[in-house]
Amino acid sequence: MNAFSYVTAQTAGSAVELVRERGRFLAGGMDLLGEIKDGLAEPAVLVNVKALPGTREIVVAKDKVVIGANVTLATLAEHAEAKKLLPALAQAADAVGSPQMRNVGTVGGNLAQHSRCWYYRQRDVRCVKKGGSRCFARGGENKYHSLFTKNMCLSPCVSNLAVALSALDAAVVVQRGAKTVTLAIAQLYERAWSEPKAHHSLAADELILRVEVPVAAGARSAYVRIAEKNEFDWALVSCVAAGRIEGGKLRGVRVALGSVAPIPWQVKEANAALEGREPTAENAAKAAERLLKDAEPREQIGYKIPIAQALVKRAVTALAG
């Protein structure tokens, strides 16, 4: 491990200044410390961002819920109003790792976490994500990898919160230099779609401040997933459906899949197929078909397709209440 300095930032502005010289933001450290210990990251400075004012609160406003970047996953999972207004998000937070991890891991860290690909995480493998020339998962042991990608790297986005926030149409407020900018979830990850080295779209000095999730009257959502183990395991595939029910019909509905692409996977046509329809298994199957249309079931990944179909059905029909 290289020697590094450690500094606690007091303002968002100073945090992004301090991180410029080969630094990394440190929140709960669940991901970052592992990367440092495994020799995958060699930061010169760790900028602790947990003391930034206003980043540990969940504020419920009339039309949105605002979640600070340093809210822990446990706090989010147990938050009474979040559970009521944004059940999928609370469920997604509750399904992360173990209680110990949820007590320490944060919303910002979960969204900005790096690849968990077991080739990427090997100290002595230099894969395309680390600037090497090949993706070892291609033609290798790839059962935990992507059905969709536009680049060489097969590592999927595995953040539980990303898939939930994607379906909930959330926005992420980011400190970029002296300004703050607001990104849609799709924007937060779009670079990972096309660039093999990217884990998300943020530059090293861009800091997530908070997440804003719109809520409308009658909004419903559901998070479902399957993992190999019942607890403390990564989702093989996850699915979130969100929308309103008006007169028995779905309105403003979005369905997203997790762990199947380097980004939370949404397809406009799939959402459109559900708009104005009842949340039935048949309608869900039509949406699933559109969601999975371009899937590439390479080597060991094909089984994710039937799982995704089943999860879409379960998530959509769950909206019926």
Partner 1 sequence: MPWPKETRWLGKETPRVDGPAKVTGRAKFTSDIVLPGVLHGAILRAKWPAAHVKSVNLEKARRAPGIKAAILVNEGEFEVRYAGQEIAALAGTSKQAVLDALALIEVSAEPAAFVVKELEAVKADAPQVFAGKANLTEGAAKETGEVAAAFAAAAAVAEATVSTPIQLHQPMEPHGHTVQIDGDELTAWSSTQGVFACRDSFAKSMNFPQSKVRVTCEHMGGGFGSKFNPGVEGLLCAKLAQAAGAPVKLMLTRAEEGLAVGNRPSSFQKLKLAADAEGKLTAFEIYSVGTPGFAAGANQGGGSGGASFPAPYIYKPAATRVKQGSVAVNAGQSCAFRAPGHPVASVGMEAVLDELAVKLGVDPVEIRIKNDPHEIRRKEYALGAEKFGWKEKYRKPGASPGPVKTGVGVAGAAWMSGGRGTQAEIQVNADGTVEVRVGTQDLGTGSRTVVQVVAAEMLGLDRDRITVRIGDSRFPPSGSSGGSQTTAAVSPAIFDACENVLAELKKVSGLDDPRGANWKAACAKLGSAPLQVRGKWREGLSTGGAGGVQFAEVGVDTDMGAVKVKKVLVVQDCGLVVNKLTCESQINGGVIMGLGYALYEQRVMDARTGFVLNPTLENYKLPGAADLPEIQIMLLDMPERGVIGVGEPCTVPTASAIANAVANALGVRVPDLPLTPDRVLAALGKVPKGATGTAARPDATAGAFAAVAAAPEAEWVESNGGCHSYT
Ligand X SMILES: Cc1cc2nc3c(=O)[nH]c(=O)nc-3n(C[C@H](O)[C@H](O)[C@H](O)COP(=O)(O)OP(=O)(O)OC[C@H]3O[C@@H](n4cnc5c(N)ncnc54)[C@H](O)[C@@H]3O)c2cc1C
Would you tell me which residues interact with ligand X (CB under 6 A)?
24-32, 34, 49, 69, 73, 96-97, 101, 104-106, 108-110, 112-114, 158-160, 202, 207-208, 234
The distance of closest approach from Cβ of residue 63 to ligand X in the complex, given in angstroms and rounded to an integer, is 24
Under the criterion CB under 8 A, does residue 140 sit at the interface with partner 1? yes
Lateral strand order in the sheet of 235-246: 219-227, 235-246, 249-258
The single-letter DSSP state of residue 114 is P
Distance CA 311, CA 47 (A): 39
The single-letter DSSP state of residue 155 is P
Return the number of the residue (161 or 253) whose C-beta is nearest ligand X.
Answer: 161
Distance CA 234, CA 309 (A): 19
Looking at beta carbons, which residue is closest to ligand X?
109
Distance CA 157, CA 193 (A): 10
The phi, psi pair for 24, rounded to 5°, reads: -135, 145
β-pairing, 23-26 vs 45-48, is parallel
Q: Which does 294 bind (CB under 5 to 8 A by kind): ligand X, partner 1, none?
A: none
Under the criterion CB under 8 A, does residue 226 sit at the interface with partner 1? yes
Q: Which does 110 bind (CB under 5 to 8 A by kind): ligand X, partner 1, none?
A: ligand X
Distance CA 321, CA 191 (A): 36
Under the criterion CB under 8 A, does residue 131 sit at the interface with partner 1? no
The single-letter DSSP state of residue 278 is -
Return the number of the residue (266 or 309) whose C-beta is nearest partner 1.
Answer: 309
Distance CA 176, CA 113 (A): 18
- The mark string for 26-45 relative to partner 1 (x by CB under 8 A, - otherwise) is --------------------
Length of the chain, in residues: 321
Under the criterion CB under 8 A, does residue 245 sit at the interface with partner 1? no
Distance CA 253, CA 220 (A): 9
- The mark string for 274-303 relative to partner 1 (x by CB under 8 A, - otherwise) is -----------------------xxxxxxx
Distance CA 287, CA 290 (A): 5
Distance CA 5, CA 217 (A): 48
The residue within the footprint of partner 1, chosen from 19, 106, 119, 242 (CB under 8 A), is 119
> Could you tell me which stretch among 138-146, 156-164, 176-184, 253-261 binds partner 1 (CB under 8 A)?
138-146
* Termini Cα distance of the chain: 51
> Could you tell me which stretch among 54-62, 107-115, 209-217, 222-230 binds partner 1 (CB under 8 A)?
222-230
CA-wise closest residue to 156 among 166, 165, 146: 146
The distance of closest approach from Cβ of residue 285 to partner 1 in the complex, given in angstroms and rounded to an integer, is 12
The residue within the footprint of partner 1, chosen from 36, 89, 185, 307 (CB under 8 A), is 307
The distance of closest approach from Cβ of residue 164 to partner 1 in the complex, given in angstroms and rounded to an integer, is 19
The residue within the footprint of partner 1, chosen from 125, 152, 173, 184 (CB under 8 A), is 125
Return the number of the residue (55 or 266) whose C-beta is nearest ligand X.
Answer: 55
The distance of closest approach from Cβ of residue 156 to partner 1 in the complex, given in angstroms and rounded to an integer, is 14
In which region does residue 209 sit, left (phi positive, over 0), alpha (psi from -120 to 50) or beta (all else)?
A: alpha
Residues at the contact surface with partner 1, assessed by CB under 8 A: 1, 116, 118-119, 122, 124-125, 136, 139-141, 143, 226, 228-233, 236, 297-303, 305-307, 309-311, 313
